[in-house]
Structure 1
């Protein structure tokens, strides 16, 4: 037999006495888990079962307990929501019931920007303002600042028409005692135009309507009146970006009725002649329910 064939032929000695069945049994015995491994596995399963039993959720609360919990949560969130909604209303109501005084309104305004600050300082220090401020017959105020801040957005002259490029700062007003006369100084911006560069005539009408009415408040029993009639004659175009002066005088009072005349003119330096932009006359009547209105809505 060649030498190579001996090495390539399987040796009978290597498998002598070991049949296929015996070899299979030995392999299966080697693959079976030992007794220790079986015991360890069962111990772990037992521990896992005990842990599961111990961590089971506790028994649910009674129906009464759950109901009380739900009621408490609902009460908390309802109360919180009510308070959050009511606080602004309380502030607005307090502003109507306890409005600031005339003197306090002079300290309430804070300019929004440099332009507003410059406009405010110009009006405050103008010779016309200085002269009126020194007169004991006149009281100075900024009545639009008596309107609660949360309500100003619903007010035409105190909110809608106020701000940048409009009525830039709240007007300064000087009212003579007894509702005899009134002077107001304002600045009108470019956002109030009808034609380019020209203030809308309706804006001047609004200033006259409010200014003449406010003039006669002090002459009426409950210090408030509504416009019954207003006649306006426009004299000259009002240019945007200029200071204007409203002057009004109460000419007649009969019970709940007051007649007032006035005009709007340009604000000029001492010695110069102002240009009259519009003239007006009107009849203002105090409503029968004015005593209630005066308590709810401060006008002076």
Structure 2
């Protein structure tokens, strides 16, 4: 979500996200469809660790959130939760905007596998990730 606007077709999903960790961290939705999500974050001082670079938890949060949204978009009537997350930290970021691109790799029964990449504002890869999501039975309601 950017400036209070949502991507067409996913308004109810983002209405739920406003007051959650997603909104608290400053994550923004750039684009979304049923196979791919692009999310971004403008790096602020509170995103940095004691060495003045973006904290690894921020990398993991943005990637997990983007990949989770991709999994939710693939199964909009179900609740999906992260069951595994692997992040590889490639390069540090000190400022600017970081962008995560998440894509569906596999949907099989109650398992969804995704991959994600995180880049800095000049397009350099900062991190790569994979995640597995468990589809829980029942509605997200």
Q: Per the shorter chain, which TM-score range?
A: 0.7 to 0.9
1:158–1:142 Cα change, 3 Å:
farther
Tell me the alpha carbon deviations over residues 178-229 of structure 1, each in whole angstroms, 9 at most, x when there is no partner. x211111221101111133201101111111111111121222624310011
| Structure 1 gaps, min length 5 | 1-101, 108-137, 162-166, 269-273, 296-300
Partner of 1:258: 112
- Residue from 190, 200, 204 that aligns with 2:59: 204
| Structure 2 gaps, min length 5 | none
Distance 1:139 1:260 in 2: 22
Deviant stretches of 4+, over 6 Å: 140-144
TM-score (norm 1): 0.42
1:140–1:276 Cα change, 3 Å:
farther
The question of whether the paired residues in 1 share the 8 Å contact of 2:17 and 2:23 is answered with no
1:285 aligns with 2:139: no
Which structure has more helix as a fraction of its residues?
1
Q: Which has the higher contact order (CA 8 A, sep 6+)?
A: 2
Partner of 1:229: 84
Which structure has more strand as a fraction of its residues?
2
- Residue from 164, 168, 172 that aligns with 2:29: 172
1:190–1:143 Cα change, 3 Å:
farther
Say what the alpha-carbon RMSD is for the aligned residues. 2.8
Partner of 2:43: 188
1:237–1:286 Cα change, 3 Å:
same
Partner of 2:15: 146
The question of whether the paired residues in 2 share the 8 Å contact of 1:221 and 1:256 is answered with no
1:235–1:142 Cα change, 3 Å:
farther
Partner of 1:243: 97
The question of whether the paired residues in 2 share the 8 Å contact of 1:252 and 1:259 is answered with yes
Larger Rg computed on CA atoms = 1
TM-score (norm 2): 0.83
Q: Number of paired residues?
A: 140
Aligned runs of 1:3-42 on 2, under 5 Å?
A: none
Distance 2:80 2:17 in 1: 20
